[in-house]
Amino acid sequence: MSDIVISGLGLVTPFGRGVEPYWQGLLGGRSALGAARRFAAPLYRGEPVGEVPWDPAPGDAPRKSAYARAAFGEALRAAGLAELPDGAVVLVVGQAPATAPAPDGRLLDEEREFLGPDPAGVFGSGGGSASPRVLHLSHACASAVFAVGYARELLRAGAAPVAVVVGSSVLNQYEYASMDVVRAVGRTAARPFDAERAGISLGEGGGAVVLEHAERARARGALADIAVAGAACRVSGPKAAASDAAQVARCMRDALADAAADRLDHVHAHATGTGQGDAAELTALEAVAAESGARALPVSSHKGAIGHLLHISGAPAIAAAALTLRTGIAPPTAGLRAPEPTERLVLPTAPLELTGARAAAVNSFGFGGNNASLLLLRR
């Protein structure tokens, strides 16, 4: 069976537009979290957030669509695609489709930053003349990784020549309130895996991932070295707003089994900076590391650098894991000063050189028992 590869990536993050500024920010251990300059909400008390420093031009699409469009365009360019081919599928991830009008037929600005992104705003630039089939997926904060797993199945089944996962997150009062009410928001900047972590920091941005058969990508000279070799998506867990270590470990085992992989060289963790969530993931990682015989498995998280991008948070995680495999360097986790004690894991506080790294897992978990893991292999 042909490999399904990631041929293009695109990002908008609090480090700016593009994958490269994001990657350099991660390698430098920098944090883009700080007091909001734009965002305001009834429950916002000045906690650090990750705001995108770029504002769309006046009259442009809502920021949520503008961020998704910028990431979509970068991903297509990276894949060497001038436009989407006929039959392409685009999987838009987000809270809900941007199709519910207000009583007067319009959406309020705040509602536009909660719903969507609107596909019409995303494909207005960079999508070419082809009209892709569009699906909307919503699996809480695991949405992007769920979508990548689904895209891989569509491609394997021959249902599309190319699939693109795209989405965005914009700081808004509704999602801020949903995280605040469950006491997930930290009053200080997120510090994933730190013994003194105090909660998440919300961020915003956009992400896009182009997937296709390796042969198709190579035929036009596109990079086809990172295969989505394994995927596991599960909706399970005893509590709606808490991670379950057993389910997290099961998800990772399923992804490894799907890839027929017997080793892990790196994990890009979900790790939001909450006490319960990080502890459950570490427990699961220790169990999986022990089963695979790993003794010093490097584990990183991007959320101390740019915050939690909610539904699209899987896109920067996938980008970081892919670049770790390509460069042989695992990035540190920004804000990590006092790592939790571990037995078989390494939690880098500085860039860590990896020799011969080929396999990386990406974890993404959400409320409602939404758990997803990918296994990326460098070919």
- As a whole number, mean pLDDT of residues 146-163 equals 98
- As a whole number, mean pLDDT of residues 365-373 equals 93
pLDDT of 127 strictly over 90? no
Look at residues 233, 171, 232 and name the one whose alpha carbon lies nearest to residue 200.
Answer: 171
Angle at which helices 314-327 and 143-156 cross, to 10°: 70
Angle at which helices 245-258 and 275-292 cross, to 10°: 40
Strands (E), the chain: 4-13, 16-17, 89-93, 133-137, 162-169, 205-213, 226-235, 266-268, 297-300, 329-330, 345-346, 352-353, 359-366, 370-378
Q: What is the pLDDT of residues 261-304, one digit of tens each?
A: 989 999 999 999 999 999 999 999 999 999 999 999 999 999 99
Cβ proximity of 197 and 187 under 8 Å: no
Residue at token pair 């974890």: 363
- Enter the tokens of residue 1: 């069976």
Look at residues 226, 240, 51 and name the one whose alpha carbon lies nearest to residue 152.
Answer: 226
Instruction: Give the whole-number percent of the chain exceeding pLDDT 70.
Output: 93
Q: What is the mean pLDDT of the chain?
A: 93
Number of Cβ within 10 Å of residue 374's Cβ equals 29
Per-residue pLDDT at 103: 55
Q: What is the pLDDT of residues 321-337, one digit of tens each?
A: 999 999 999 999 999 99
Per-residue pLDDT at 56: 82
Secondary structure class of 210 (helix, strand, coil)? strand
pLDDT of 100 strictly over 60? no
Please list the residues that pair with 12 across neighbouring strands.
17, 206
Look at residues 117, 147, 122 and name the one whose alpha carbon lies nearest to residue 132.
Answer: 122
- As a whole number, mean pLDDT of residues 354-377 equals 95
- Enter the tokens of residue 133: 């089939």
Query: Based on the number of CB atoms within 10 Å of its own CB, is 219 exposed (0-12), middle (13-18) or buried (19 or more)?
Result: exposed
